[in-house]
Amino acid sequence: MNRLIIAASIFTAISSSAALAQGYPHYTPNNPHHVQQNSHYRHDPKPHHSKPAPHRSQWSRGKPLPRQYRGNVVRDYGRHHLAAPPRGYNWVRVNNEYVLIGIATGIISSIIVAQ
């Protein structure tokens, strides 16, 4: 009986040390079943994250802002992180933009994208 217990414990010790000696499989690109444990083994380049397209305004400096858009005047420009408008100008919010226009003419002087 003692021999059986000793033989079983020796067999267990040998098999467990053999499993530990084998270690983790290394990265092989042809092995479809391989699960990467660490990005260190990856040979493909990192994925590129595309940047959002730059904002293109439908408005342009020097052109008049149509009358239907001139009504949404921004009075609390500091809250919207805008500089105080010069005398004779107003900030107007149009869609997702702040447009600095001349009060009398409606000519666009500056355009800032809202954040």
**108, burial (CB in 10 Å: exposed 0-12, middle 13-18, buried 19+):** buried
- Residue predicted with more confidence, 110 or 1: 110
Q: Which amino acid is at 7?
A: A
Structure-block tokens of residue 48: 């590129």
The residues pairing with 64 across neighbouring beta strands, listed in sequence order, are: 107
Structural domains in the chain, CATH included, are 2-41 (no CATH), 67-113 (3.10.450.160)
- Residue predicted with more confidence, 43 or 54: 54
Query: Is a pLDDT exceeding 60 seen at residue 17?
Result: no
- One-character DSSP codes across the chain: -HHHHHHHHHHHHHHHHHHHHH-SPPP-TT-TT---S-GGG--SPPPPPPPPPPP--S--TTSBPPGGGTT-B-S-TTTTT-PPPPTTEEEEEETTEEEEEETTT-BEEEEEE--
Q: What is the pLDDT at residue 42?
A: 55
Residues 58-90 have pLDDT tens digits of 888 999 999 999 999 999 988 989 999 999 999
